[in-house]
Amino acid sequence: MKAIIDHQYPIDLSKPIDISIPLSNTEANPIAWYIEKPVIEPVRFGEWVGKVSEGSSTNFNNIFFNPHGHGTHTECLGHITKAFYSINQCLKQFFFIAELITVTPEKVADDWIITKFQLATALNGRTPQAVVIRTLPNDIIKTQQKYSHTNPPYLSEDAAIFIRESGIKHLLIDLPSVDREEDGGKLAAHKAFWNVKDVNLLNADARLDCTITEMIYVGNEVPDGNYLLNLQIASFENDASPSKPILYAL
């Protein structure tokens, strides 16, 4: 099956590139922010267990997870504001022209940082609706990584400002956060991307319709370049939702 966005972009919908990480209740599930693995278990009412293999007519599981710490998730500026904003209300369109770029974070003191210069060089003047950042090294272990207390790479504030000023509305990255793991609550890259100047009283030009998606994984076989992005979320009234970003080659 094929679809046409416009005369420039033929899309083969039979060849999706899933860049999300599955959520499971196994040790293989990636984890960030000092929490334990997700819990997926059958409902129990007395002796009744919601599991076909234990005599029930259906499998009937409860799931306990944290969208920020347990895998691929998409968040809105409600992640950092005093007032409540929901990803389900902020994200109303789901298809975007995206540019996949690959960068190697630079060592600065004890940190590994993605810089404005690296992003400007990789984008080379292109201003897509969404940018997908793959970092090197890019081992498959990213899909199972335990990030807590490891100080993973992150974006410099200038890099986030560059993305915002380029008009890019959707940022996707294969790291647990665009900010440093422990930064004293500054969240400089988050604030710069969303143009949030005061978390207590939202400024009129804050970017309500823009999103950050973290903890993706883009395989090495996927070349840098131009894609159609389908950014799928669950309809949670929450600052973030588990998500399933899909790329289609253009």
Per residue in 191-235, pLDDT (tens digit) is 999 999 999 999 999 999 999 999 999 999 999 999 999 999 999
- Residue 95: how many CB atoms within 10 A of its CB? 15
Q: Specify the residue for token string 């996949």.
A: 100
42-101 pLDDT, tens digit each? 999 999 999 999 999 999 999 999 999 999 999 999 999 999 999 999 999 999 999 999
pLDDT at position 6 is 52
As assigned by CATH, the class of the 12-22+67-249 domain is alpha beta
- E strand segments, 88-224: 95-103, 106-108, 111-114, 130-135, 154-155, 170-173, 211-214
pLDDT at position 5 is 54
Alpha-carbon span 131 to 27, nearest angstrom: 30
Mean pLDDT of the chain: 96
Full-model pTM:
0.95
| Residue 3 clears pLDDT 60, i.e. is over it | no
Q: Choose among 197, 220, 185, 238: nearest CA to 74.
A: 238
| Residue 2 clears pLDDT 60, i.e. is over it | no
- Per-residue pLDDT, averaged over 136-155, amounts to 98
Alpha-carbon span 249 to 153, nearest angstrom: 28
| Residue 4 clears pLDDT 90, i.e. is over it | no
pLDDT at position 1 is 40
Centroid of chain to Cα 121:
22
**Domain spans in the chain, listed from the N-terminal domain onward:** 12-22+67-249
212-224 pLDDT, tens digit each? 999 999 999 999 9
pLDDT at position 93 is 97
- E strand segments, the chain: 2-4, 10-12, 17-18, 39-42, 44-45, 48-49, 61-64, 73-75, 95-103, 106-108, 111-114, 130-135, 154-155, 170-173, 211-214, 225-233, 240-249
pLDDT at position 8 is 65
* Band (126; pLDDT cuts 50, 70, 90): very high
Decide if 170 contacts 178 (C-beta within 8 A): no
Q: Choose among 37, 72, 79: nearest CA to 185.
A: 79
9-58 pLDDT, tens digit each? 689 999 999 999 999 999 999 999 999 999 999 999 999 999 999 999 99
